[in-house]
């Protein structure tokens, strides 16, 4: 599985220096969190990694290959599911394969293989509007996965879900992660979510955004939805809160 290196990325948007010299690294099969105040440029960073936007300076390397400003290597999943209302779940999930030129039948068969893993078994013929928010996010994640199965960029994927669904989705995501071991970058502004899921968390500052803190999360990722009870947890939480000036 690949390694992502973000090297001295800076970007000015609308005359405002949004990202100033960002350095990050997501090792092979790491689960890396990005925490930061809203509007600090987290989504902008993903736009740059996925090649939708060119940085003013700096580079993005995936497996030592410079992919700066080039689309096609990774896509990313957003807070909105962005499923097409005109297609059913299976057709929606197959879109990346269709775009890569697979014939429809083959694309559907390939997507169908992963339905149960993404908790969508039996729902392939349903339209997005017939499903709950959590299900739709899982379908969107399957679509992201089918574009690049070795890297998942997730931009606040659970932010619009209610607390219970969110917790279920987090536990489910850990399960999927343990099976397929991709390299994950996960944007959130929820400190607990970051500590719950990630091996490493980057805390970002307000604009112009720099990496304020890089924290290794020492607790092992919880199994079966348990709460982390490690005594070091609340201390680490406080440190991050302080860095975020909350």
Partner 1 sequence: MKKLKNTVNIVIPLAFVTLLLTGWEVMVRCKSVPEWILPGPVRIARTFADNAPVIAKHSQSTLLECLAGFGIAIVFSFVIAFLMDEIELIKRALYPLIVASQTVPIVSVAPLFIIWFGYGLMPKIIVVVLVCFFPIAISLMGGLAAVDREYLELFRSMKASRLDIFRMVKLPLAMPSFFSGLRISAAYSVMGAVIGEWLGAKQGLGLYMTLSQRSFQVDRVFAAILAVTALSAALFVLVVLAERLVIPWNRLKQDR
Chain residues binding partner 1 by CB under 8 A are 47, 50-52, 71-72, 74-76, 78, 80, 82, 84-87, 95-96, 99-100, 127, 129-130, 147
Contact partner, 125, from ligand ADP, partner 1, Mg ion, none, Cβ < 5-8 Å per class: none
14 binds ligand ADP, rule: CB under 6 A = yes
170-202: burial string, b at 16+ Cβ within 10 Å, e else? bbbbbebbeeeebbbbbbbbbbebbbbbbbbbb
Q: Which stretch binds ligand ADP (CB under 6 A): 11-19, 21-29, 58-66, 74-82?
A: 11-19
Beta bridge partners of 26: 4
C-alpha 37/C-alpha 154 separation (Å) is 16
35-74 residues near ligand ADP, rule: CB under 6 A? 36, 38-44
Please state the closest distance from residue 159 (CB atom) to Mg ion, in A: 9
157 binds ligand ADP, rule: CB under 6 A = no
CB-nearer residue toward ligand ADP: 44 or 92: 44
CB-nearer residue toward ligand ADP: 181 or 189: 189
C-alpha 53/C-alpha 75 separation (Å) is 12
Please state the closest distance from residue 103 (CB atom) to partner 1, in A: 15
Contact partner, 80, from partner 1, ligand ADP, Mg ion, none, Cβ < 5-8 Å per class: partner 1
Q: Tokens for 102?
A: 């697979």
Contact partner, 13, from ligand ADP, partner 1, Mg ion, none, Cβ < 5-8 Å per class: ligand ADP
Question: From the CA atom positions of the chain, what is the Rg in Å?
Answer: 18
180 Cβ contact list (under 8 Å, min separation 6):
145, 149
43 binds Mg ion, rule: CB under 5 A = yes
Q: Are 54 and 207 a contacting pair, CB within 8 Å?
A: no
C-alpha 55/C-alpha 52 separation (Å) is 10
Contact partner, 99, from partner 1, Mg ion, ligand ADP, none, Cβ < 5-8 Å per class: partner 1
Please state the closest distance from residue 137 (CB atom) to Mg ion, in A: 15
Q: Tokens for 111?
A: 């997507």
C-alpha 44/C-alpha 25 separation (Å) is 17
Q: What DSSP string describes 20-70? A: EEEEEEE-TT-EEEEE--TTSSHHHHHHHHTTSS--SEEEEEETTEE-TT-
CB-nearer residue toward ligand ADP: 44 or 94: 44
Where along the sequence are the contacts to ligand ADP (CB under 6 A)? Answer: 13-14, 18, 36, 38-44
């Amino acid at each position: 599985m690949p390694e992502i290196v973000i090297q001295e990325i800076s970007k000015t948007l609308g005359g405002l220096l949004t990202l100033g010299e960002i350095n990050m690294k997501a090792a092979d099969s790491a689960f890396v969190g990005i925490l930061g105040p809203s509007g600090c440029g987290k989504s902008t960073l993903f736009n740059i990694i996925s090649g939708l936007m060119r940085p003013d300076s700096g580079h993005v390397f995936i497996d030592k290959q410079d992919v700066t400003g080039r689309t096609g290597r990774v896509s990313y999943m957003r807070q909105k599911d962005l499923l097409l209302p005109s297609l059913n779940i299976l057709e929606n999930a197959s879109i990346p394969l269709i775009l890569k030129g697979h014939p429809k039948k083959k694309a559907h068969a390939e997507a169908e293989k992963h339905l149960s893993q993404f908790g969508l078994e039996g729902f392939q013929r349903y339209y997005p509007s017939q499903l709950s928010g959590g299900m739709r996010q899982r379908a969107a994640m399957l679509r992201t996965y089918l574009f690049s199965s070795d890297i998942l960029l997730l931009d606040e994927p659970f932010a619009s879900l209610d607390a219970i669904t969110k917790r279920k989705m987090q536990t489910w995501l850990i399960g999927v992660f343990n099976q397929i071991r991709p390299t994950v970058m996960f944007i959130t502004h929820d400190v607990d979510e970051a500590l719950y899921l990630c091996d490493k968390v980057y805390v970002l500052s307000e604009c112009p955004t720099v990496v304020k803190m890089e924290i290794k999360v020492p607790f092992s990722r919880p199994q079966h939805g348990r709460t982390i009870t490690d005594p070091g947890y609340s201390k680490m939480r406080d440190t991050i809160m302080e860095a975020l000036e909350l």
